Amino acid sequence: MSAERSKRVPAALRRGLLALPLVGPAARRLSGAVTHAPARSPLGRLARARAALRPPATGRQVLAILAVLEEMKVRHWVAGGWGVDALAGRQTRDHDDVDIVLDDFDRTVEAVAAALGARGFREVERDRRPTWMPDRRHLEDRAGCQVELVSLDLALVQRACSAAAPPGRPELVAFGTGRIGGQPVPCLSADAQLVVHGGYASRPADRHDLELLQELRSSIA
């Protein structure tokens, strides 16, 4: 068990706190603000307290969620921290949630949310922002497992990948295959992840992921 994980609030206590009418919504709003805050800002310094309240998303949970999408025949790709670790083929850190890019987001997201809803997930937040992944649906189950269903501005990412391709190297690709728990999973490529991560605040987890992505891209160059 990692030191980070050992400092988390026990699951039963955490569920009780987040179930309180005022505490749960306030905690989620604060969590979202902390996620996008610079590490050295007042909000960014709350990252450790936020992590204590949010249980890690395990590889087993991620595979169970992906199995639902496979059964529905919805094209998807793992992104974010789990996407980076999938490319590495091993878990290198704890993950608060799993980010999943849905193909044809507007057409598929409602059906996917309903299918996950039948398995105990409920929507707690949604938004649209001018980013590489403009649409977001945040789902959570009673155990605190959190899923981010997101869209991808593929044309924008592909243009960025093409522009970043060094002379003499084939055009960079946006998608790839990784492994979680030894099982193959579709995920964003290291090239696409480097592009997408470029829009995030530089938190310790982001720096870890960027360094790993650079190593992965160097190994296949």
**Other CB atoms closer than 10 Å to residue 153's CB: what's the count?**
16
> Which residues partner with 125 through β-bridges?
138
Q: For the whole prediction, is pTM greater than 0.95?
A: no
Residue 165 CA: distances (Å) to CA of 51, 182, 191: 36, 30, 9
Tokens at 140, concatenated: 């959570």
Domains in the chain, ordered, with CATH?
1-54 (no CATH), 55-220 (3.30.460.40)
pLDDT tens digit string along 89-120?
A: 999 998 889 999 999 999 999 999 999 999 99
Beta strands in 66-117 (DSSP E): 76-79, 98-102
Q: What are phi and psi of 202, to 5 degrees?
A: -85, 85
Report percent pLDDT > 90 for the chain: 45
The DSSP-derived string for 157-210 is HHHHHHHHPPTTSPPP-SEEEEEETTEEEEEE-HHHHHHHHTTS---HHHHHHH
Mean pLDDT of the chain: 80
Distance between CA atoms of residues 125 and 138, nearest Å: 5
**Other CB atoms closer than 10 Å to residue 21's CB: what's the count?**
7
The C-alpha R_g of the chain, in whole angstroms, comes to: 17
Surface-to-core class of residue 195, CB atoms within 10 Å of its CB (0-12 exposed, 13-18 middle, 19+ buried): buried
Distance between CA atoms of residues 58 and 96, nearest Å: 9
Tokens 């269903």 correspond to what residue?
149
pLDDT tens digit string along 153-207?
A: 988 887 777 776 666 555 667 899 999 999 999 999 998 898 887 655 566 778 8
Q: Please enumerate in sequence order all residues whose Cβ is within 8 A of that of 21, keeping only pairs 6 or more positions apart, or say none.
A: none
What pLDDT is stored for residue 170 in this prediction? 57
